[in-house]
Structure 1
Amino acid sequence: TRIVVLNAGRLQQIDSPFNLYHNPYNVFVAGFIGSPSMNFFDAKLLPGEGEALIVDTGVFQINVPPSRAEPYRSHVGKEVILGVRPEDIHDANYLPPGITPARIEANVEVIEQMGHEMIIYLEEGGKNFIARTDPRTQSTVGSRMGVVMNLDNMHVFDRDTELSLAYDYKNENMSHATT
């Protein structure tokens, strides 16, 4: 099965549902696939110690996992967009095993109890974002909550073009928009 994603009549990407979700060509595709949609943070890509890279949103900083850093090196010092899906933001008390974590604190604004999960609307430093968490989460509206982003699934996009910096161009087979 392949899906065609269009934006205002322009082809964005043709791919399997799995690849659209895990390897979006651009910000539009990343935000179109998934519900709730991907969280986007304006950021700057900074050099860390040695070969390390840091994504700085102005509110929080995260260290890019070494295994994910190579596609981003050409954008050190540049403005980027960090993308993290709600299902990759977890209650710090209920982490799935084997993830590459980045912990931040945020204010809980709204909680939607869904039974098998909770959708939590968070705010930190004027940035709003959504987490899809374990239903055992004990946070309440108005409280501070420790959340952990799974950096194994982070996305970074060029600020100007909105193209993914890690898109697998060598396997594209004309599966995205032409510029």
Structure 2
Amino acid sequence: MTELLRFKTSPLISGTLIALYGALTLPLPFLAAQTAAPISPLLLWGAIALGGVLLWGALSQRVELDAQGIRLTYPGWVPPFLRRQWQLTWSEIQGLQPRSTSQGGLVYYLVTATGQGYLLPMRVAGFAQMMRAIEAHTGLPTAVIKPLAQPWMYGILAVFTLLLGAVDLWILTTVG
């Protein structure tokens, strides 16, 4: 493989999470103004904007694969404290290690000869293609590795997020 393969966070996942953030936070300045809350609506708008940019930055990771190896990168505008960048050559990767999450899911780590583990990004669009490329370069079996969250899970979250947004809109237009 001489071409560069680039994988971004799935739009279903990032779009749903950004919409959920909006549905949870955008009503706050309006409610603060309507209830004469002790916090300024302008301060809330600023905090919401900052939080939105930080969320967008956290969701903007890219996985890049080429003939040399695999990299997890972020755009340059993402603050360093949000970046968990790493890079491995194909020869460094010695295994895949599964680990259970606290919610009962299963994540995988790319493990080097020194035992250092690097979390395999599992929420990317094109996950199956990424796994085929990793298997082709490392020889490690990847057929059993599935994305951490199935699309239907984020589909359900998206539906409930839309319902929450509709309720928010209804409350703000009828109460005010």
TM-score category by the smaller chain?
under 0.3
Higher strand share: 1
Please tell me whether Structure 1 or Structure 2 has the larger radius of gyration of its CA atoms: 2
TM normalised by structure 1 equals: 0.25
